[in-house]
Structure 1
Amino acid sequence: MKQVLAKADADRATGDVFAAARGRLPGVGLVAQIRARAFDVYKRAGLPHRRMEDWKYTDLRALIGEVLPLAPRPDAEALVRAKVSAKQVAADQAVKLVLVNGIFAPELSDVGRVENGVVVRSLREVLEDSATGAMAGLVLSTTSDSAISLNAAMATDGLVITVNDGNAVKRPIQIVHVATGSSVSTYTRSYLQLGKEAHAAIVESFVPAEGASGYQANDAMIALVGDEASLSYIRVAAAASDAVNISSAIIAVGARAKLDLFSMTCSGSISRYQGFITLTGEGTKLSANGVNLVRDKLHADTTIVVDHAVPYCTSREKFRAVIDDCGRSVFQGRIVVRPAARKTDATLISRALLLSDQAEADNKPELEILADDVVCSHGATSGALDDTLLFYLRARGLSEKDAQMLLIKAFIGEAIEEITSGNLRDFVTVQTERWLQARR
């Protein structure tokens, strides 16, 4: 009985948050209707909990309990703090687009450096423009997942990026999410349309400003990758130590296209990254890789679902987790092969490295094969650092911490090396070095 009452109270509180925020959410008419329907989907399920199969290891109802009020628009002081944090995580040569407390900040962004053939608009601008209102259903698309539905209902801003057919974007586009508040929530949603034979790299970074704490961030990325296009999509989440970060990606990939996906979580209190990737065209190649760097009491969940909907597609998934102290890492990888998807070639491998007796790793690789004539495999392992290798390195003059660092870098390097761009690979490596140095 207490659980029922707790759920009812939480749902009522979330309903109050939505009602209070509606006047600040962009879009009226059709957009407002779509938001209301999305919130109804969320309200029926409530916060994700352990009785939902995809959320069995990350029970948000128990972990966070309630949805916090929407963050206010950033003032001048917040923008100053955000500028410092955004600069610290800037990727080399990238075109930086900054969102502060869920609101696009053009004054902190490299709007003037956007290349020809690329159109960038804020989500707020698109939803409030009657001429583009028809896009609302696509941009605010939702699923049965309640976290994504809540995001669709509450999204205050984001970016709508269009890359024209045949355009090769030379510089990476970096979306930087900066949180400056405390005990508030932010909701951002971005939409990417990559044209036929186009090529681009997208980097998403999540970072707190000085003084930000106890916030909740809910982000979603909707991406359409055209036929024969190529997309590198990298996400690095470094939230405040007591913050919550829930990020979702819904990606559809066309024929003979290539998608390289990489995700890293290296700080925060509770983190969940979920990717839903559908291969909709024949001859597509997917490389999906990730790393969880977990210490203290961080709970980091990475869930990737790859849907082979058509024949002759290839997917490779490689995930690594390093867990220290009382941290917990979750990896759920599912490959679905539809009845028509013959000649599918798919591999899923997850490995976890436990650095303390209290560390926990939950690995759940799955294959759902509904077709014949396919090649699919999956595997998962977990264990500690090799004592023999540690002894070998110590015998050659390295301290215990330096020896451990060298072995950890080699362990996660297998996933990082899959990043095709040298600059972006260096960017991710720097984030790894910071985590390792902080552990010392």
Structure 2
Amino acid sequence: MTIHQTITAAATPAEQRFLDLYASVCDRLPGAGVPAVRAWREEALDAFAALGVPHRRVEAWKYTDLRALMTAVHPLGGLDAGARADVDASIGRALANIDSYRAVFAGGKFRPDLSTIQGAPGISFTPLCAKLKSEADAAATLAALSLPKGDVVAALSTAFATSGALISIAPGKKLDKPIHLIVIASCEANAYALRHAIKLGDGAEASIIETHVGAGASQAWSYTALDIGKGAALKHARLTQSAAALHLASAKVTLGERAVYEPTHAAIGGALTRSEGTIHFTGPNARATYNAAILARGHSHVDFTLVVDHAAPHCESRELVKAVLDDRAKGVFQGKVAVQRGAQKTDGKQMANALLLSNDAEFDSKPELEIFADDVVCGHGATAGQLDEDLMFYLRARGIPEAQARALLIAAFVGAALDTIDNEGLHTALDEKVAAWLAAK
């Protein structure tokens, strides 16, 4: 008997919603007839049942009480015929027109008719659901899809996954254009779950863009395992945008020797967005530079939680988060830098800055350093404040209207995190998203 079966009677209503949902869909999930796949999913559900739905007494979820914020679970989407999707209308023409190898997931399903990644040189791509259909394919695939301990979002994403992207980039391959992973939650009455695994071979160089959009009050949760090989380099941009949707994402990134990882995350709106990740240095002389931006108003709640685990010497990490919060919006950044024994010559720094446009807006920052080596350079900081009145006066004195002056200062503030993007098409698209958010007030 599995754990989730034994604790059902003692489960809180928050956990019971998920357990009931699984019971209603388990026979319809991809690979339901393959014993290894069923066992893989139920192991993940057991992990979720043991952890429970996080609440404010769970330290990692102190500022994002999921039990209170997620009072209902929608029916699972992606089990029936693929939903209709218009990529241009969903994510915007500027993002849709970026020259890329595109992989589109709409309504919980891979859409080959909207994708261009199939057969791309140097890229092995398979939707997860295709690998779960037979015992032979599933055995090889599931062996590489381990479940991280203590990760509720990863457990849910695995138990309910209807598909996901399995991507491998050949060693030494330098992609001529980015991979664009587009995820569209197409029905506001559904929940969607995806499980991704991406691997860069030694010496490979690539860029990945992720665009996640939610329809209405849709719900989505996903987990991504990202393995960056020795001497490989990855630029990774991730945009989450919605008006009233719930989006939970988790990622585990592993860096080999001399690997370079440059992620940029942006969240615009959304009822609840939580993006948590772990960057794990396994080889020396690797580097990670994390930049993130939050734009939220109304009652939006956006939480970026990041753990940077230095387990190898001579590695460098940088984290910069910029948050712009208006009305009663709440932003959270929890950033932990852990330096393990033996990880000498570590250089780790983090900074979080919040711009509060309303007296009711809230920003919670929890920087942490956990150091077990004695030859390191580590530091952290956090600030929160309002628009600089002197700068506003300077712009107004030169004939710039107040609304335009505010927009210029806010765009410059956010730009410190987003200007690191060197893809011109992506940079233009994000500038348009920021301008649209500013103009919507």
- The residue type paired with residue 323 of structure 1 is L
Aligned-partner SS, 1:124: helix
- Whole-angstrom CA distance in 2 between matches of 1:160 and 1:72: 17
Aligned position for 2:312: 310
1:394 Cα offset (Å): 0.7
Query: What corresponds to 2:27 in structure 1?
Result: 23
C-alpha contact (below 8 Å) 2:191/2:220 kept by paired residues: yes
Report the Cα offset of residue 73 of structure 1.
4.2
Matched, 1:231 2:231: no
Asked if the contact 2:36/2:135 (under 8 Å) is kept, the reply is: no
Percentage of pairs with the same residue = 37
Structure-1 residue corresponding to 2:62: 56
Partner letter of residue 76 of structure 2? L
Deviation digits for residues 245-303 of structure 1 (CA, Å, limit 9, x no counterpart) = 00111110110010001111002100001111101110001001100101111000000
Q: In the alignment, does 2:351 pair up with 1:346?
A: no
Partner of 2:415: 413
What is the letter of the counterpart of residue 226 of structure 2? A
1:51 partner SS: coil
Distance in 2 (CA, whole Å) between partners of 1:287 and 1:47 is: 31
1:261-340 matches, within 5 Å, as 261-340=263-342
Distance change (3 Å), C-alpha of 1:137 and 1:48: farther
Question: Partners in 1 of 2:57 and 2:395 — Cα distance?
Answer: 46
Shift of 1:46: 1.7
In the alignment, the residues of structure 2 paired with residue 372 and residue 386 of structure 1 have an alpha-carbon distance, to the nearest angstrom, of 40
Report the Cα offset of residue 436 of structure 1: 1.7
Change (3 A) 1:48 1:310: same
Indicate the residue corresponding to 1:361 in structure 2: 363
147-156 or 339-348, which moves further after superposition? 147-156
Is the alpha carbon distance of 1:433 and 1:384 closer, same or farther for their aligned partners in structure 2, counting shifts above 3 Å? same
Shift of 1:425: 2.9
Which residue pairs with 1:387 in the alignment?
389
- Partners in 2 of 1:87 and 1:130 — Cα distance? 40
Distance in 2, matches of 1:90 and 1:358, equals: 36
Choose the corresponding residue for 2:13, options 9, 16, 23: 9
**Pairing of 1:143-222 with structure 2 (within 5 A):** 143-208=149-214, 212-222=215-225
Cα distance in 1 between the residues matched to 2:203 and 2:338: 26
Give the 3-state SS of the residue equivalent to 2:144 in structure 1: helix
Query: How many angstroms does 1:416 deviate by?
Result: 1.1
SS of the aligned residue for 2:440 comes to: helix
Contact kept in structure 1, 2:85 and 2:186, CA below 8 Å: no
Q: Distance in 1 between matches of 2:254 and 2:97?
A: 26
SS in 2 for 1:271: strand
Counterpart residue identity of residue 290, structure 2 = A
Q: CA deviation at 1:305?
A: 0.6
Q: CA RMSD in A?
A: 1.9
The 2-side partners of 1:161 and 1:148 are apart by 18
> 1:417 and 1:82, CA in 2 relative to 1: closer, same or farther beyond 3 A?
closer
Alignment equivalent of 2:98, drawn from 55, 74, 92? 92
**Structure 1 pair 400/74, CA: closer, same or farther in 2 (3 Å)?**
farther
CA distance in 2, matches of 1:176, 1:138: 23
Report the TM-score, using the length of structure 1 for normalisation: 0.94
Maintained 8 Å contact 1:91/1:424: no
User: In 2, distance between residues paired with 1:266 and 1:419?
Assistant: 17
- Cα distance between partner residues in 1 of 2:9 and 2:332: 29
Task: State the Cα distance separating 1:74 from its structure 2 match.
Answer: 6.1
Specify the alignment match of 1:104 in structure 2: 110
Report the counterpart of residue 136 of structure 1 in structure 2. Answer: 142
Match of 1:245 in 2: 247
Gaps of 5+ in 2: 1-7
Q: Distance in 2 between matches of 1:66 and 1:50?
A: 18
Structure 1 stretches of 5 or more lacking a match? Answer: none
What is the aligned partner in structure 2 of residue 47 from structure 1? 53
Cα drift, residue 6 of structure 1:
10
Q: Give the letter aligned to residue 123 of structure 1.
A: L
Whether the aligned pair in 2 keeps the contact of 1:90 and 1:96 (CA below 8 Å) is no
- More divergent stretch after superposition (268-277 vs 80-89): 80-89
CA pair 22-173 structure 1, distance change in 2 beyond 3 A? same
Maintained 8 Å contact 1:393/1:403: yes
1:115 equivalent in alignment to 2:120: yes
Q: Which moved more, 1:167-176 or 1:135-144?
A: 135-144
Letter in 2 for 1:313: C
Q: Which runs of 4+ in 1 moved over 6 A?
A: none
Q: Deviations over 1:8-54 (max 9, x none)?
A: 22322211101111122223222211210110110122211111111
Q: Quick one: which amino acid aligns to residue 290 of structure 1? A: A
TM-score, normalised relative to structure 2: 0.93
Using the TM superposition, name which of 144-153 and 258-267 deviates more. Answer: 144-153
3-state SS of 1:24 partner: coil
| CA–CA distance in structure 1, aligned partners of residues 153 and 100 of structure 2 | 30
Q: Secondary structure at the match of 1:232?
A: strand
Contact preservation (8 Å) 1:303, 1:333: yes
SS of 1:23 mapped into structure 2? coil
> Is the CA contact 2:202–2:229 (under 8 Å) kept in the aligned structure 1?
yes
- Summarize the Cα distance change of 1:310–1:340 in structure 2 as closer, same or farther, 3 Å threshold: same
Letter in 1 for 2:302: A
Give the C-alpha shift of residue 311 in structure 1.
0.3
Q: Which residue pairs with 1:125 in the alignment?
A: 130
